[in-house]
Amino acid sequence: MASFSTSEFKSGLKVLVDHDPCSIIENEFVKPGKGQAFNRVKFRNLKTGRVMERTFKSGDSLEAADVLEVPLQYLYHDGEHYHFMNEQTFEQYVADDKSVGDARNWLKEQDVCTITLWNGQPLMVTPPNFVNLTVTQTDPGVRGDTASGASKPATMETGAVIKVPLFIDEGEVLKIDTRTGEYVSRVKE
């Protein structure tokens, strides 16, 4: 496996730190006037999402992390695992609850998600920025009220509960921003 020396560290580089795949955020050169040169490096741990700081001697190397981001189609949930497929090669991938995380709220069959693979295994699932989902349950709509700004909860086909305007009815398809979990608009069929 390739490795990178501290002088090659730059933002976005994927390396192994304490055996975990990490993405470099920041790399700072530190040196006492009469001493050893170091690099103080900030990382995001791609497994936990946590940001951490480590110090290395300048010139030391870290192993590259075999991390790859690929678009994969979501197929189905078998009750335990989530199944994805590469539309070009038809190769299938199985992701567990941990790597899917909050993305589970927005996974709709046949949607294409970005999957971060580490050594070929799904590490993180990022849903599309916008998804169209059907409302499966909400209180009856209030006609004419399109401007008051009041909202009510609605359950979507994926099980996610979001806030929607009062005029929304069951069976309607809504556009949702997955980064904020917010209602964007109705989708005309």
Partner 1 sequence: MSSEASWRPAATCEVLRLRAAMLAAARRFFLKRGVMEVDTPVLSAATASDVHIASLQTNISLDGPKPVYLQPSPESAMKRLLAAGSGPIFQFARAFRDAEAGPMHNPEFLLLEWYRPGFDLGALINEVAALVAVLMKPKIPVEQLSYREAFISYAGIDPYTASIEAIAELCRRSGFRGALDDRSAGLDILLTRLVQPALSPGCVFLYHFPADQAALAKVRPGNPPLAERFELFLDGIEIANGYQELIDAREQRIRIEADLARRRERGLPVVPADIRLLQALEHGLPECAGVALGFDRLVGLKAGVEDIRRVMAFPVDRA
- Residue ranges in contact with partner 1 by CB under 8 A: 7, 17-18, 28-38, 52-58, 60
Q: Which is nearer to partner 1, 55 or 151 (CB)?
A: 55
Q: Within 10 Å of residue 187's Cβ, how many Cβ atoms?
A: 14
Q: Which is nearer to partner 1, 36 or 110 (CB)?
A: 36
Instruction: Give the shortest CB-18-to-partner 1 separation in angstroms.
Output: 7
Contacts of 32 (CB under 8 A, 6+ apart): none
Q: Check residue 106 and report its DSSP letter.
A: G
How far is residue 83 from each of residues 74, 109, 125, 134, 153, measured CA to CA in Å?
6, 10, 11, 21, 29
Instruction: Give the shortest CB-121-to-partner 1 separation in angstroms.
Output: 24
Instruction: Give the shortest CB-17-to-partner 1 separation in angstroms.
Output: 7
Q: Which is nearer to partner 1, 15 or 125 (CB)?
A: 15
